[in-house]
Structure 1
Amino acid sequence: MNFHIITLFPDSFSSYLGESIIARAIADKKISVRFYNPRDFTKDKWRRIDQKPYSGGPGMVIQALPVIKAIEAALKRVKSNELRVTKRKNKKLKSRDSKLVSRTSIIFLSPGGKQFDTAYAKKSAKKYTDIILISGRYEGIDARVKKVLLRYKAKATTEDISVGPFVLTGGELPAMIMIDCIARQVEGVLGNFDSLEESRISSSEVYTRPEVFTYKGKKYRVPKVLLSGNHAEIEDWKKKQK
Structure 2
Amino acid sequence: MTTTLITGANKGLGHETARRLVAAGHTVYVGSRDPERGRRAAEQLGARLVVLDVTDDASVAAAAKTVEAAGGLDVLINNAGIEGRGPGGKVYGAAEVTGDAMRTLFETNVFGVVRVTHAFLPLLEASANPVVVNVSSSVGSLAMVSETGTPQSQYPAVAYPTSKTAVNMITVKFAKAFPHFRVNAVEPGYTATDLNGNTGTQTVEEGAEIIVKMAQVGPDGPTGGFFDVSGPQPW
TM-score by length of 1: 0.35
More strand by share: 1
Tell which structure's C-alpha radius of gyration is larger: 1
TM-score by length of 2: 0.36
